[in-house]
Chains A and B, each alone.
Chain A
Amino acid sequence: MNELERLDGRSANELRNLQIEVGVLHRADGSARVILGKNEVIAAVNGPRELHPKHMALSQKAIVQVTYKMLPFSVEYRKHPIPSRREKEISKVLSEAFESIILTKLFPRSTIDIQVQMIQSDGGSRTAAAIATSAALADAGIPMRGLIGGIASGLYQDHCVLDLSGIEDNEGTGDCPILYSPALDEVSLLQLDGKFTLDQFKTCFNMSIDAIKKIDEVQRAALVKKYDVIRQSILGEEPLEEDDEKAALLTVNQDVTDADVESPTQSEEPEQSSEDMTETDVTVEESQIDEVKEETVDIPKETTPVEEASTDSSSESQASEDTVVKGETSINKESLIAETLDKISKDESPKPSFDEKYNEIDEALKEANDLVTKINKHTTEPEETADKTQSSEEEDRDQFDESSVKSVTELLYEKRKNEQVKDKEKPKSGFFSSKMQELLQNNKLSTGDLNIDVTKEESTKEDEKKREVERDLEYMEYEE
């Protein structure tokens, strides 16, 4: 075997120059630019957002749409702007790869759109695209189980080499791009063409995995670099946990010296005051609605419609406004703000419950016995944490219970919650898994060698039945 001589003088397992920058675009929710050798790619993430056309939406999870696009001047010969079959295939496999790591269940009925544009392409462009996509998704703040890195390896001059450049790819006899998540130890994409022996494949595979671990570090560094600025801005902020907040609120209340403090009792009786509100609302004449609404608002965010002093009519607006404004710098305001802050933290609270479930599910496959206990644990857990400061919400719930419609909704919700836990969920590997299975059978590899999870088909009959029942219930609800 000849000595390996790569065109750019790299050794067999050496990466090309890799640069990652996140947040490069102003309009997109998240973006990243990746340079890998001569590859240059920009990924833009928009979403989760409303899906058009609506019939494509899935009621249980978000869909992930990656559009891989090569600009016409990105390659040697001008590429026609109309998407080629190659571009469409890459878009599809990338979509599937990323769907496996994004927590799509958190955003049912929505879409996460990712546009990947190759500004210049030179071998291994789909893996560069994946690196950019992964960084852009993280930049967009989309919850996912881990980052994905990717690299191609292949055969060049009968050697196993990493990260083939365009020319090496053309002259080489094999190419095998891999997407892999080091944090999860999951392969989310594998394509292969050419002639590999089993040993060669193993060498290439392991080489790629090692390289992706390095790529992962670069990705992290890029993200941390951008977010360190924001981190600094939050650094002084103390974590606001429910208990802390209440305590803080008490001390603040003692400190308040403002003359215009309202009695704290008001905030403790949200129900009463909200009744007052509705009453005053009714008295407001239609013609005045706009004006009244215009002037009332001043508190950043009350969580309960509590203590804005009444602004009854537009004729008194100026006078009443003043009193309103003064009244607002009160204990109640503090409590409201605290509550609001709490809300902010609460806004994350549904997430862990779902995430937990998501992962519980993985585990549950292995440990079916633990399942029941865990379901119980997790359906109750988030509520426990949230409950403390949401006494007002509870009150509202009581109110809702009076109406039959609500109680049905509640039931449904509970039901669905439980079901979602039971609903067995595995990371998707569709295309990949079938190909791998084939490969495994042919080459008599053991799954352990590759760390690949071959997906098991789950029985869905039960689930279907449940869904039917649920649909009926839902229908009834609509009729009501």
Chain B
Amino acid sequence: MSKKQFQNILIWTSAIILIILIMTPGLWVVLTAFRPQVDVMAKPPVWIPRNLSFNQFETMLFGGSEGSMGRSPVPVLSYLYNSIVISFTSTFVAVLVGTIGGYGFARHNFKFKNGYFLMIMLTRTIPGISLSLPIFILFSKIGIIDTHFGIILVFVALNIPFTVWLTDGFFRQIPRAMSEVAMTDGCTKLQAFWHIELPLSKSGIASAGIFAFLISWNEYALVSNLARSTDSKTLTVGLMDFTAQFTINWPGMCALAVFIIIPALILTFLVQKHLVSGLTFGGVKG
């Protein structure tokens, strides 16, 4: 066996082990979602499921029928609605504002530019959860606690720095001559941006968008503080509805978890092409 072959085998085995390690919890969640509570709680654990069912999903989406786990149905559809509204709106706003910001940093010189950039990046170093109390107090004072608006605001603030950083890198990669030639071609600055620079950086914007979306979609800690009712609770926060005083409905919780994962997976697949080129092309040069 040549050295090269040996290396290949080594790389593949470690890759496979790593993937299994990363995937196991996810697989376990999926598995749990389709199993009865008895199996889930069994000791020693039941590795190979004996019977699988869609009961949990049925209960979750269409309300509990007699004989199922018998819990009051979780208002999943309201949560889904909240999640969709909050994630999409916050992503849209963050990408819009962040892209404009990134363009500004990439193309224009102004006083204290590096300072501003650093400041924006530094906001990312503060753990979001440490802000939850101040935000909670502030929001309850101004009366936007438990509203879509409040949560969207938080996510927008959370996502803009990353979007600025990512798109800044992308716009830097586009030669300045590109917009200049567009301007001598008869474009205004805005037209040059719209027709030339924006399409050229769409990978970067797509990457920024998917990241912003995933952060908003998956966030739990902050929203669990800010959302108090079905008016604004998102799917992730809704997971906690499966815990009662003494029991936890593991299969139900996992069913909801699967329900949360699916849209994120689909979206990631859709923009995957951009994502890969985005991270390798634009992201590296910050």
The answer to whether A binds B is no
